[in-house]
Amino acid sequence: MLSAYIENAQQLIQTVEKRLGDRITLPYVNTEVSLQNILLSAGITGFISYAVSKYIIYRLYLHPLNKIPGPSTGWFPLLGNFREIFSEESGVPHKRWAEKYGGVVRYYGPWNQPRLSVTDPEMLKQILTTHVYDYTKTPQGVKFLGQILGHGLLVTEGDVHRRHRKMLNPAFSLQAIRELTPILFVPPVQLAEKWMSEIKTKQTRPDEAVEVVVSHGLSLVTLDEIGLGAFGQEFNAVRYDGTDKVNKLSWAYQTIFDPSDRGILMFLTQIFPFLQYLPVPRRFEMERAFKTLHDESKHIVQLGIERANETTTKSGGFNNHLLSLMIRNSDDEKGQGFTAEELRNQCLTFLAAGHETTAVSLSWCLWLLAQHQDIQDALRAEVTPLFENVNTDDPVFQDNPFELGFDKANIPSYEDINNLHLLNNVCRETSRLIPVVPLTTRYASKDMVFKNHFIPKGTIIFLPIIASHHNKDLWGEDAEEFRPSRWDEQNASKAGPYEYLPFLAGVRSCIGSRFAMIELKIILSVLLMKFQFFEKPGFVPTKAQRITLRPSPNMTLLVKPVK
């Protein structure tokens, strides 16, 4: 078979040679080798032609998205605009493009892949509400997020998402969150105690403000909050930090979201995804962290099921937490509610989505307040009276808060906290200026049309929330400044749900937003009542995209107890 093929090829070469006369002489020294060369050259030429036509001619000139205005590709071949995106702070190029080209921008990802960046409120409405299930999460995003968040609400689509969201909604209702409020005071009081003793150890003179890595403590406190509020379990991340009983989840999340991890390998992995499988130490560490998350979530759900089956449940908040509600709504035999596997996945989602986001938001908020001492003082003056009758040495803040109950602790109510005007403005303004989820992505699962734009199936669409939040046409010339009082003015109150969207908007907006806001406010109030925060001279954190917009290096401030 092969020899017949070679013979045919030789005849063909002879014919070609005859026709070309003396102009070309094809070497006959070793026909098999020369044939291999010819086939190889043909292969290479074919491959180059294919690559040039696909990655350059089609993607840069003929692709339907090229009709949409946007930046030209960067100077480095085949990287599109990716170098800009990777080298600048998260969302900054998208912000620049929105200012220059408008609300629907075409740009190029790695391999010149045309993508969209959307801030146009009408198109956001189409993506997030009217055609929400046609714009899915990207397949790569689901694969990556699935490892951290499990295959819970955040990554499910269509009918499964609709059904799960409906089943979970009651757990996040106003009534449910109101009942959880007292227990959410326990972890910040414990963190305040921990910081107090850390500061006292470091102080060389009274009243000295000393360095504290606040990001670390905030990550611990929000993990404890989610443990108590969502699962009715004491993780004791704050208490056991630095001891051999250190919470395994806390180690796993710190490993996964390490803000210093932004090397050349991460850049190359975005271009050559197979590099993620390289056997480098970081990969093994991540795998260990993922395994810890999965094992721990199994354990949490198991404990939750056992406790829910106890005939006499403990008093206090136990029956009101999220997991208990999910378990009570489940019935494997009747096929109703969540299966144990689904519960585990939801649990992973709430753990990661619920603690990391709030911790990062708090880090930025304290940093902004450290830069604005006048606002910090005013806020302290607003929150402190709430705690006049609260004894933070009460045993309820130390041991078994579920059993002791909060009746005698005079803890402020959900309404007490939510009615604080400046606190509301500060939280809203922090989420506007530094949204911890600065951008998210969607994927057109079928051909779509918006106004006159044809958006082919498979298009990746970036929703740069941060660009909407910094839009000068809407927020004014000082859009990039921290000014909580803007929320008392017309511009800010005019912002619609597709213009101010720290929790996104529509059918897939953050289910935990009410929980997150009250948690944020409670932690801030306790910390401000106890401490004053200052910037550390020379410390300039950058905003590193690790799913959330983390400070890099970890947020470090100077802190001293309030007199």
Beta bridge partners of 411: none
Q: How far is the CB of 427 from ligand HEM (least distance, A)?
A: 9
Q: How far apart are the first and last CA of the chain?
A: 93
Number of residue whose CB is nearest ligand HEM: 512
Contacts 24+ apart (CB under 8 A), 168-175: 168/322, 168/326, 168/346, 168/511, 169/511, 170/325, 171/322, 171/325, 171/326, 172/322, 172/511, 172/512, 172/514, 172/515, 174/514
Residue closer to ligand HEM by CB (options 430, 532) is 430
Calpha distance 509→255 (Å, rounded): 27
Beta bridge partners of 117: 105, 462
Q: What's 412's DSSP letter?
A: P
Calpha distance 162→181 (Å, rounded): 28
Footprint of ligand HEM on this chain (CB under 6 A)? 153-154, 165, 230, 349-350, 353-354, 357-358, 361, 436-437, 440, 502-504, 508, 510-512, 515-516
Residue closer to ligand HEM by CB (options 428, 453) is 428
Q: How far is the CB of 229 from ligand HEM (least distance, A)?
A: 7
User: Tokens at residue 21, please?
Assistant: 């006369």
- Cβ pair 377, 541 in contact under 8 A: no
Q: How far is the CB of 36 from ligand HEM (least distance, A)?
A: 51
510 known member of a binding site: yes
Q: How far is the CB of 215 from ligand HEM (least distance, A)?
A: 14
Q: How far is the CB of 326 from ligand HEM (least distance, A)?
A: 12
Calpha distance 140→528 (Å, rounded): 41
- Cβ pair 297, 305 in contact under 8 A: no
Residue closer to ligand HEM by CB (options 230, 467) is 230
Residue closer to ligand HEM by CB (options 353, 466) is 353
For helices 340-371 and 214-231, give the axis angle rounded to 10 degrees. 140
Amino acid present at 558: L
Q: How far is the CB of 221 from ligand HEM (least distance, A)?
A: 13
Calpha distance 137→151 (Å, rounded): 12
Residue closer to ligand HEM by CB (options 91, 354) is 354
Task: Report the binding-site residues for heme.
Answer: 510
